[in-house]
Amino acid sequence: MRFTAFALMATALSVALPATQAHIGPGVPSKIQIRNTDMNTVRAVRRMEHSHDHHRPIHRRAKAAKDEASEAQIETPTEECKPYGLSAVNDMVKDFPTAWDVADILPHDTQAMAIMQAINASGLVPTDIQARGQQPASLMGTGTETGYNSNTDPACYWTATGCTTPKAKGVLPDIISCAEPHTWGYTLDDGPNCTHNALYDFWKTQNQKVSLMYIGSNVMDWPLQAQRGLADGHHICVHTWSHKYMTALTSNQAFAELYYTMQAIKKIMGITPTCWRPPYGDVDDRIRAIAQSLGLRTYVWDHDTDDWEVAPEGPKPTATVQANYDSIISLGSAPAAETGGIVVLQHELTNGTMELVKENYPKMKSAFPNIVPLTACLNLTHPYVEDIIYPNFAEYVGGNVMPSGLPTTFTVQADAVATPQGTLKSMGSLMATAPAGGPDNAGVVSSSSAAAGPSSSNGSPDNLSNKKSAASPSTVIAPFAVVIAGLTAGAFMLLNNN
Ligand SMILES: [Zn+2]
């Protein structure tokens, strides 16, 4: 019997997923929708800025670049989405993969090579899991590999089985849910969208923060919009460089998709994130391990609005997508809300998705008293390598929603380098433990030493572990230590000199 990829996916989901995960979907936007700009215009503007040739016709379609604060003031969508060139960003384009192309390690990038070498040497990345399937041409289907054994699920391959608890030794479980009762874990993917000011303005009026999963190519295209996300106090995670099915990529490509997005965010926004969300949820233990080695914890979701489908940009009428929202909102009065919260997938993708986000907010708020970014859900007070402190859950729901230590002004730092060094507390490792018995090499620390993190001193320690009754405190992995343990002396110097 022969299955198409889609049939296999549908079968796997209907059979393998428990009923509580019925709302999980792949969150698949089309390629064209994700790329919310005309790249030819952006590239032409970059060339123009680079050559100081301001007499070409393209100039009329571009605008003068100012700064984060003035870009945030623009209220006309067409004006917001006029490309601009920031000279500091233009100067660093040569050090990055081409926007929207599959990333790979650039030939001259010795630091990236050294880190990938260290990751390979660490032993964390399973060597028996290969790149699988292929990128669907439309990106509307699934990347599921035909013939994969979903029954044994050796690679904990989410796209086939919904698996979120790794089989590979030492790899941390995905963050899928929010343990706080009556709580909506608020996450939006695919930004920064050039036309997001109206939505971000709305959140400001509501004193609302959100976890935002930013695409590296969008950060490069819309650096001032990206800076606004942080300036407004939202929580920033990595959503890859070009939004491909990660399990279909080679390990070097998967590394590069994450690594160069981290570098873009560091140089443009000044932070080093410690979380990422796989596009389409497409992840397995090979990809999880590469991300973890870069200090990135894998975040998925447990409820999906499928808002990317909404018309006019998407194929479904508003009413259909609204019904998805209504069904998730109705969970606010379900018995399960008394004991735990949810993490919902929404998108900063099109005007249609952003309108729905705004329209549904009052309904969400009346059903779920707590609508919080994942930092609050997880009591994750240090979500970046840098010293920026986010409110824990009690502080957030008490009205103290703004992080402290945010930059007051932004300057693109083309020389800044994100040094992967996820720490236990910043990765949320206190919230869920790796399978017992991590790798024998350096990088394993005991849960007692990890308990020095911020969660031990606030009111709601270790929430996810409470929910995951099967997860007993055992060993957890310090990804930084894993990476460093495998670095040669030369590579170590290279890291520290930057
Ligand atoms: Zn996405």
Radius of gyration for the chain, computed over Cα atoms and rounded to the nearest angstrom: 21
Torsion of CA 328, 331, 332, 334, to 10 degrees: 180
What spacing in Å lies between the alpha carbon of 357 and ligand 1's midpoint? 16
What spacing in Å lies between the alpha carbon of 3 and ligand 1's midpoint? 26
Closest CA to 343 of 315, 321, 313, 375: 375
pLDDT at 119: 93
pLDDT higher than threshold 50 for residue 354:
yes
pLDDT at 43: 59
On whether residue 307 sits in a domain, the answer given is yes
On whether residue 225 sits in a domain, the answer given is yes
- The structural domain count of the chain equals 1
pLDDT higher than threshold 90 for residue 136:
no
Lowest mean pLDDT among 34-48, 232-246, 289-303: 34-48
pLDDT at 292: 94
pLDDT higher than threshold 80 for residue 470:
no
Mean pLDDT confidence for 42-62: 48
pLDDT higher than threshold 90 for residue 374:
yes
Task: Judge contact between 345 and 303, C-beta under 8 A.
Answer: yes
On whether residue 363 sits in a domain, the answer given is yes
Torsion of CA 328, 329, 333, 334, to 10 degrees: 0
pLDDT at 63: 78
* 3 state SS of 175: strand
DSSP category for residue 316: B
Percentage of the chain exceeding pLDDT 90 = 62
Sign of the torsion formed by the C-alpha atoms of 259, 264, 266 and 271: negative
pLDDT higher than threshold 80 for residue 15:
no
User: Over the stretch 188-226, which tens digit does the pLDDT of each residue have?
Assistant: 999 999 999 999 999 999 999 999 999 999 999 999 999
DSSP category for residue 372: E
Mean pLDDT confidence for 436-463: 28
Other CB atoms within 10 A of residue 402 CB = 14
On whether residue 218 sits in a domain, the answer given is yes
Mean pLDDT confidence for 234-241: 98
Domain containing 336 equals 5-32+115-496
pLDDT at 414: 85
Q: Active-site positions?
A: 189, 347
The residue with tokens 């920031």 is 86
Task: Give residues with Cβ within 8 angstroms of 205, minimum separation 6.
Answer: none
The string of DSSP codes covering 322-359 is HHHHHHHHGGGGSGGGGT--EEEEEE-SSHHHHHHHHH
What spacing in Å lies between the alpha carbon of 237 and ligand 1's midpoint? 12
What spacing in Å lies between the alpha carbon of 32 and ligand 1's midpoint? 12
On whether residue 93 sits in a domain, the answer given is no
CA angle, residues 230, 263, 347, in degrees to nearest 5: 50
pLDDT at 427: 64
The string of DSSP codes covering 272-330 is -B-EE--GGG---HHHHHHHHHTT-EEB--SEE--GGGBTTTSSB-HHHHHHHHHHHHG
On whether residue 107 sits in a domain, the answer given is no
What spacing in Å lies between the alpha carbon of 359 and ligand 1's midpoint? 21
What spacing in Å lies between the alpha carbon of 490 and ligand 1's midpoint? 37
Torsion of CA 383, 389, 394, 398, to 10 degrees: -130
> Cα separation of 421 and 234, whole Å?
21
What is the token pair recorded at 81? 């989405």
Mean pLDDT confidence for 326-334: 97
Give the model's confidence band at 95: pLDDT under 50 very low, under 70 low, under 90 confident, else very high: very high
pLDDT at 415: 85
pLDDT higher than threshold 60 for residue 76:
yes
pLDDT at 142: 59
On whether residue 196 sits in a domain, the answer given is yes
pLDDT at 8: 30
pLDDT at 184: 98
Rounded-to-5 percentages of helix, strand, coil across the chain: 45, 10, 50
Sign of the torsion formed by the C-alpha atoms of 434, 213, 388 and 302: negative
H or E segment and range at residue 116 = helix 110-122
pLDDT higher than threshold 90 for residue 493:
no
Give the model's confidence band at 388: pLDDT under 50 very low, under 70 low, under 90 confident, else very high: very high
Torsion of CA 210, 212, 218, 221, to 10 degrees: 40
410 vs 498 pLDDT, higher one: 410
What spacing in Å lies between the alpha carbon of 27 and ligand 1's midpoint? 7
User: Over the stretch 154-191, which tens digit does the pLDDT of each residue have?
Assistant: 999 999 999 999 999 999 999 999 999 999 999 999 99
What is the token pair recorded at 292? 């973890």
Q: Which CATH number fits the domain that encloses residue 310?
A: 3.20.20.370
The residue with tokens 């911020």 is 454
Residues with Cβ–ion distance below 5 A, ligand 1: 189-190, 279
User: pLDDT averaged over the chain?
Assistant: 78
What is the token pair recorded at 490? 């030369």
